[in-house]
Amino acid sequence: MKMKAIAVAALFLACMTGEALAHFGMVIPSDNILEARERSVTLDLSFSHPFEMIGMNLNKPKKFFMVKDGQTTDLLSKLRATNIMDRAAWKAEVPIKRPGVYTFVMEPTPYWEPAEDVSIIHYTKTMIAAFGGDQGWDEPVGIATEIVPLTRPFGNYAGNSFSGQVLLNGDPVPGAEVEVELYNKDKKFTAPSEYHVTQVVKADDNGVFTFTCPQAGWWGFAALNEADYTITDPNGQEKGVELGAVLWIYLDEYK
């Protein structure tokens, strides 16, 4: 009840300020770079407002898989129910045996958002580098919409700029609007205003954007587009669909 009250209060505040809280699909691994002693990675799958740490229930995803060297491995059977931010979420432990770059992808079941009168589907991915491998991170995986990194998405420091290209049905999205948020996991930071919670950057005519991440941690990038189809809402009415291309990267502090 407490978390529900917080969520309602946050939504009310967003409406009063004119700023809607940004939704983010989340696929967060236990580490984004694996050393030789590590032979598996644990991934947390959730749906949330990551800076405010307000969770939403994530039904079991429609798809969850891993791509390496163009080969796809289905991981749906590895998902186990858990709670993240006091809401239903999922966890998976995946063995990693060979060097390379591994891309993890979640396609969720549609989430009905009554406040926006749409269903939300966030195609969410992240990448890890294992045992010195660093090839293939700039390749699309072929999902409905995605952000393809143009900056290597691992081995970066806080303060680095990150560039990516937004694709929808395999084509660049000119002028795509990309929302950016820090996963404020330990609630270390407080935003100066509602506008500071979600950063926004526009892509160019080729769907390419650049953003400089000022803090260490997990950063999420979400490019939203309207689908060319509808889904029935809980009352059986045909309603629009928000397709999100979401990518998570990690930036380290200098030591």
- The tens digit of pLDDT for each residue in 173-232 reads 999 999 999 999 989 999 999 999 999 999 999 999 999 999 999 999 999 999 999 999
What does the alpha-carbon distance between residue 118 and residue 231 come to, in Å, rounded to a whole number?
Answer: 8
What does the alpha-carbon distance between residue 78 and residue 167 come to, in Å, rounded to a whole number?
Answer: 28
Q: What is the mean pLDDT of the chain?
A: 91
Average pLDDT score over residue span 98-122:
94
What does the alpha-carbon distance between residue 163 and residue 141 come to, in Å, rounded to a whole number?
Answer: 17
pLDDT digits 0-9 by tens, 225-248: 999 999 999 999 999 999 999 999
Within 10 angstroms of residue 75's Cβ, the number of other Cβ atoms is 19
Contacts of 237 (CB under 8 A, 6+ apart): none
Whether 158 and 177 have beta carbons less than 8 Å apart is answered as no
Report the pLDDT value the prediction gives residue 22, as an integer from 0 to 100: 83
Domain ranges of the chain: 2-252
Secondary structure of the chain: what % helix, strand, coil (to 5)?
Answer: 10, 50, 40
Q: What does pTM read for this prediction?
A: 0.90
CB-based burial of residue 122 (10 Å sphere; 0-12 exposed, 13-18 middle, 19+ buried)? buried
Return the percentage of the chain with pLDDT > 70, whole number. 92
What does the alpha-carbon distance between residue 24 and residue 36 come to, in Å, rounded to a whole number?
Answer: 32
